[in-house]
Amino acid sequence: MTEERRLAVLRAIVEDYVRTEEPVGSKALVERHNLGVSSATIRNDMAALEEEGYIAQPHTSAGRVPTDKGYRLFVDRLSTVKPLSSPERKAIQAFLDGSLDLDDVVARTVRLLAQLTRQVAVVQYPSLTRSAVRHVEVVALGANRLLLVLITDTGRVEQRVVESPAVLSDDLVGRVRSRFNAAITGVRLADVPAEVEDIALQFGEQERPAVTGVVSALLEMLVETREERVVLAGASNLARFGQDFPYSIRPVLEALEEQVVLLRLVGEATSPSALTVRIGSENPEGLTTTAVVSTGYGRGEQALGGIGVLGPMRMDYPSTMGAVRAVARYVSQILAES
């Protein structure tokens, strides 16, 4: 019973501190929460929580604030994640359903999540290491030029103009298109080079230089697009939480400029159904005063990319977790239907 009561006291401290931005005292807990015990008992519980490192006293004679450890326990023992309201869900669906292509989906998602949570939102493009070829299009642009278009199953589109040393007949262009699609449709991008290595040998000797040029362009395209990409929005929201960064907000902003750091924050998700919450020292250098809520999005249980929110540790965790999960599910739905 004592452990459950102390957890209730910690939960009340976290909720009040997130809402008021002020250290929380025992008197406030008695007035605002129906904890069913006396002020003296609450003070004893707060003393025990402080001794165990879950709360701290920032100033003499002040109330208490949660520590990294306290936020961690609060999140780990959350019984529910706050669901979005029906109007919020409808607004999300309407906003994302208007997306034109993958770039638009990502841009809308990151803006939407920043607005919903009033934090920094980060969205990773579908990982190329987890993507496969949906279709290859080859279009003649003239007697000696081709347009090569690669479309992945996650909606990414890459294209390249290929110069041919020989005149290209409509028949050759059609056969090149058919052979490439037969060879690599459904193949993961990482396995494409092995599948097209000898494809030129399937053509006549005079046709092989043109086909070899298409193979070279395709391989160059894969190399150039292999770098993972992330997009963020809402960095200006951090200015609202100046007091939550006791030394300086500069390390946080510098860390957000690093793509590698952002990929570490959201790119490790393996399943769209699992939420990850990193708090304080659990984050990379420069972000140890922040909390990060992230999850994956994709088809079924396979995450194709990550999506998340970064803000101060004094975060409304139930609402933020609910927003991240809901938006990720809508993105997954859009990709499944594309």
What pLDDT, on the 0 to 100 scale, is given for residue 116? Answer: 92
Residues near 187 by beta carbon (within 8 Å), at least 6 away in sequence: 132, 133, 195
167-171, 252-256, 270-274: range with lowest mean pLDDT = 270-274
Give me 120's structure tokens.
């920094």
> What is the average pLDDT across 230-249?
83
Question: Per-domain residue ranges for the chain?
Answer: 2-76, 86-127+229-337, 129-224
81-95, 151-165, 234-248, 312-326: range with lowest mean pLDDT = 234-248
The dihedral of CA 241, 248, 235, 289: what is its sign? negative
Q: Provide, rounded to the nearest whole percent, the portion of the chain with pLDDT above 70.
A: 96
Give me 322's structure tokens.
């609910």
Question: What rounded mean pLDDT belongs to the chain?
Answer: 87
> What is the average pLDDT across 298-312?
85
* Furthest C-alpha separation in the chain: 93
What pLDDT, on the 0 to 100 scale, is given for residue 112? Answer: 93
Tell me the sheet residues that pair with 292: 278, 310
Residues near 182 by beta carbon (within 8 Å), at least 6 away in sequence: none
Q: How many CB atoms lie within 10 A of CB 43?
A: 16
| Domain at 2-76: CATH code | 1.10.10.10
Residue 225 binned pLDDT confidence (cut-offs 50, 70, 90): low
Residue 1 binned pLDDT confidence (cut-offs 50, 70, 90): very low
| Domain at 86-127+229-337: CATH code | 3.30.450.40
| Nearest alpha-carbon partner for 33 in 71, 3, 5, 67 | 5
301 pLDDT exceeds 60?
yes
121-130, 163-172, 267-276, 309-318: range with lowest mean pLDDT = 267-276
Tell me which residue has tokens 């605002």.
32
The C-alpha atoms of residue 142 and residue 145 are separated, in whole angstroms, by 5
The C-alpha atoms of residue 176 and residue 181 are separated, in whole angstroms, by 9
Report residue 166: phi and psi, to 5°.
-125, 160
Residue 221 binned pLDDT confidence (cut-offs 50, 70, 90): confident
The C-alpha atoms of residue 18 and residue 334 are separated, in whole angstroms, by 34
The C-alpha atoms of residue 98 and residue 156 are separated, in whole angstroms, by 17
CA distances from 140 to 27, 88, 106, 148 (A): 78, 47, 31, 9
57 pLDDT exceeds 80?
yes
Residue of 1 and 88 predicted with greater confidence: 88
**Alpha carbon 175 to chain centroid distance?**
40
What pLDDT, on the 0 to 100 scale, is given for residue 59? Answer: 77
The C-alpha atoms of residue 241 and residue 235 are separated, in whole angstroms, by 11
What is the torsion angle, in degrees rounded to the nearest 10, for the CA atoms of residue 264, residue 265, residue 270 and residue 274?
160
Q: Which fold has domain 129-224?
A: Enolase-like; domain 1 (3.30.390)
Q: What is the DSSP letter of 22?
A: S
**Axis crossing angle, helix 208-224 with helix 170-184, rounded to the nearest 10:** 50
Quote the pTM value. Answer: 0.78
166 pLDDT exceeds 70?
yes
Residue 214 binned pLDDT confidence (cut-offs 50, 70, 90): very high
> What is the average pLDDT across 142-155?
88
Q: Tell me how long the chain is.
A: 338
| Nearest alpha-carbon partner for 66 in 5, 20, 1 | 20
Give me 133's structure tokens.
């070829």
- Burial of residue 203, with CB atoms counted within 10 A of its CB: 0-12 exposed, 13-18 middle, 19 or more buried: middle
The C-alpha atoms of residue 216 and residue 162 are separated, in whole angstroms, by 9
The C-alpha atoms of residue 317 and residue 203 are separated, in whole angstroms, by 60
